[in-house]
Amino acid sequence: MNDLVDGLRVFLASNFVLYSKTHAAHWNVKGMFFYELHKMFEEQYNDLWENVDTIAEKIRMLDANVTITPQDQTTLSIIEPDQTLTDGQGYVKVLLNDHVRMIMLLNKLFKIAEAAGDQAVMNYIAERLDAHSKMRWFLKSTAERLV
């Protein structure tokens, strides 16, 4: 069960960092496709934010405590917190790579939940895999348009 809790903690920290990066992209994006990107980033950061509580509750259901300090976000997250870009093409590329990383993390986490026999976490991870795959698809399709 510790592997599952540890994996969910990494997922929570990574989700927080990705939420922050996506929200910053929403605020700071500039360029020709500003409005479309501004709206897409808003949809994505809202989805990420709406899942913070659910991830934390999955950890609590495993009788573990939840903490998410800024240090946790830095040390546990698989997503780099750097946010120095301001053009649409740069944001799309960085966030696309971040969603690919989240998909890889969730695939590993699914296997851990499966090994632990936790069907509820498996179901939730499958839902999040679908959501991150859709965000990846939108970003990839947008990146092709921005070239």
CATH number of the domain within which 24 lies: 1.20.1260.10
Contact present, 124 and 11 (Cβ < 8 Å): no
Q: Each residue of 15-59: pLDDT tens digit? A: 999 999 999 999 999 888 899 999 999 999 999 999 999 999 999
Tokens in use for 2? 């510790």
Burial (CB < 10 A; 0-12, 13-18, 19+), residue 53, is exposed
Domain span holding position 86: 2-146
Amino acid type, 52: V
CA distances from 32 to 21, 43, 73, 93 (A): 20, 19, 33, 16
Q: The whole model's pTM is what?
A: 0.93
Mean pLDDT of the chain: 93
Split into its structural domains, the chain has a count of 1
Query: What does residue 72 show for φ and ψ, rounded to 5 degrees?
Result: -60, -45
